[in-house]
């Protein structure tokens, strides 16, 4: 008797961070690629994708309206392709002076007040205290994207604790757990996951390679440890975005 091998499936239903929307940033380059990525997510057991296109002044000048309109068009394409997947619109903001301007306008893309942002990769942002103050003043909940990828913190693990104590939530990239970015990034992702410091996980998928690798991640012992040691909030979001 022959049995068809069934691939591992995610224990989560929601991906919190992706660049699957086509034509809008450095993610999916066309609708066909985006639909292939969506099918991979469906095979892995996901039911909801929170799309988070980059918003970075003078580089990715996306607006909430543009992101939401692109999301609506892609949702229709997903349905027409017969893929059972809900697409929600949010964003990944770059922490710089432009971000402060966006915050002060109080028109940010978020999911139930959870706001995803990233630090520069070469050095910590000089304005984070002001950014954090302005976010909290407006009742946003700051979620730092892929903290494991900021190499300037790799030898300062106490900085992660300081950020958590401030009230910053952490979202790590699943592919970091299997060394996709580098061995040091993998080690920090393991440190954060092992110590229960992770609040969200995301694919940070920009292309089909990223979604395909998730099959390996979900089978890994690191993924099992992540699920066991952390209270992940991914699956609390089904309502959509509020401006």
- pLDDT one-digit tens code per residue, 156-200: 999 999 999 999 999 999 999 999 999 999 999 999 999 999 999
**pLDDT tens, 112-134?**
999 999 999 999 999 999 999 99
Token output for 170: 């952490």
Q: What pTM was computed for the model? A: 0.94
User: The tokens of 62 are what?
Assistant: 């996306």
Per-residue pLDDT at 9: 87
Gyration radius (Cα) of the chain, Å: 17
Strand partners, 200: 171
Residue with tokens 């730092």: 144
Residues 6+ apart with CB under 8 A from 127: 95, 96, 97, 100
Residue % of the chain over a pLDDT of 70: 95
Could you tell me what percent of the chain has a pLDDT over 90? 90
Helix or strand holding residue 15 (H, E):
strand 14-18
pLDDT beyond 70 at 87:
yes
Q: What mean pLDDT do residues 64-81 have?
A: 97
219 token code pair = 């089978």
Residue 188 and residue 177: Cα distance in Å, rounded? 9
- Smallest CA-to-CA distance from 90 within 125, 150, 141 is with 141
Interval 35-63: pLDDT, tens: 999 999 999 999 999 999 999 999 999 99
On the 0-12 / 13-18 / 19+ scale of CB atoms within 10 A, 58 is exposed
pLDDT above 60: residue 238: no
């Amino acid at each position: 008797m022959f049995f068809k091998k069934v691939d591992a499936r995610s224990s989560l239903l929601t991906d919190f961070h992706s660049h699957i929307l086509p034509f809008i940033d450095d993610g999916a380059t066309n609708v066909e690629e985006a639909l292939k990525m969506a099918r991979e997510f469906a095979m892995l057991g996901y039911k909801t994708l929170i799309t988070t296109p980059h918003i970075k002044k003078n580089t990715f000048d996306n607006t909430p309206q543009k992101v939401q309109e692109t999301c609506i068009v892609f949702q229709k394409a997903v349905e027409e392709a017969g893929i059972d997947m809900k697409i929600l619109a949010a964003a990944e903001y770059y922490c710089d002076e432009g971000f402060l301007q966006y915050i002060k306008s109080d028109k940010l893309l978020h999911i139930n007040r959870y706001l995803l942002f990233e630090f520069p990769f070469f050095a910590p942002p000089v304005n984070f205290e002001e950014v954090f103050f302005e976010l909290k003043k407006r009742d946003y909940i700051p979620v730092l994207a892929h903290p494991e990828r900021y190499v300037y913190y790799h030898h300062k693990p106490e900085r992660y604790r300081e950020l958590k104590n401030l009230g910053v939530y952490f979202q790590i990239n699943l592919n970091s757990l299997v060394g996709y970015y580098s061995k040091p990034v993998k080690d920090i992702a393991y440190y954060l996951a092992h110590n229960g410091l992770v609040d969200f996980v995301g694919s940070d998928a920009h292309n089909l390679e990223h979604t395909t690798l998730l099959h390996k991640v979900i089978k890994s012992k690191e993924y099992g440890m992540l699920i066991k040691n952390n209270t992940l909030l991914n699956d609390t979001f089904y309502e959509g975005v509020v401006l």
